[in-house]
Structure 1
């Protein structure tokens, strides 16, 4: 990953500044679980939702109450929350060596076929921050419902130093 001028490697924290992205306050748990668990050099994040504070920022199913574009935006918000949790746990996103896995559950009306376009909302943000060379493997699937009525839930696994 290089900075915009191409002269030096840009850290994840530098990229956030360059992109004008301010991470939200990490979401509080909605149940009994840890938001991040580190095992060796892997950091597993709990299911990340498109929330702000204690509520859902997006509610509905893609193809019913929401269109694909709204689902895409919801996935980006969930990814911002994931980065906020990772930063809180690690102290800095510069400790992320690679995004290993991105799982994206999309709540749909059942006849939606554009799950990848929804998931790209999260993938694009991770690529902007960490670089294309750190793109994760990805699994995208449709479900009938998700916690709080949100349209997406992310599973994120990071390799950290």
Structure 2
């Protein structure tokens, strides 16, 4: 199954996006760089939001990123995931940001393969606040394989 078919089999839906104030995806050479995509799940990890809820928020970010990539590239096929930056809205005491961002990485592994094109570099960082009070924000870099 292709990455596009895997994503659709997982229930991901792809919808057309209208251009906004800033680009959700920019292409430079063979790279697609995404803007940060925030979760609809709100709140702060370590203060009411659980790691499992955070993982769900990160997975939601991945789905939004894939929709934006689909809009920019026309398909999820022919891509390699290179890098993720995961930003977790968390208290100073919370130290499991990496477990939260696994929600994003896991979805990309399901679609692109953990040992193949989905094997990526990643940073998972804690932030005092994220725009709109979202629990998670993620940005990504993809390579267009030609």
TM-score normalised by length of structure 2 = 0.91
Q: Does 1:153 align with 2:142?
A: no
Matched-pair contact (CA < 8 Å) for 2:36–2:139: yes
Name which of 69, 76, 93 aligns with 2:52: 69
Equivalence for 1:120: 102
Mapped partners of 2:135, 2:14: distance in 1: 19
Residues 54-101 of structure 1 show CA distances to partners (whole Å, capped at 9, x for unaligned) of: xxx2111101131111111000001000000000111110131x1000
Equivalence for 2:34: 45
Give SS of 2:21's match: coil
Mapped partners of 1:33, 1:18: distance in 2: 30
Equivalence for 1:90: 73
Residues 93-120 of structure 1 show CA distances to partners (whole Å, capped at 9, x for unaligned) of: 0131x10001101110110111111000
Higher RCO (Cα < 8 Å, 6 or more apart): 2
CA RMSD for the aligned pairs?
Answer: 1.7
Mapped partners of 2:53, 2:62: distance in 1: 14
Mapped partners of 1:49, 1:70: distance in 2: 14
TM-superposed deviation, 1:131:
0.6
TM-score normalised by length of structure 1 = 0.83
Q: Does 1:141 align with 2:131?
A: no
Give SS of 2:125's match: strand
Matched-pair contact (CA < 8 Å) for 1:99–1:158: yes
Unaligned runs of 5+ in 2: none
Q: Provide the aligned length of Structure 1 versus Structure 2.
A: 143
Distance change >3 Å, CA 26–CA 108, structure 1 → 2: farther
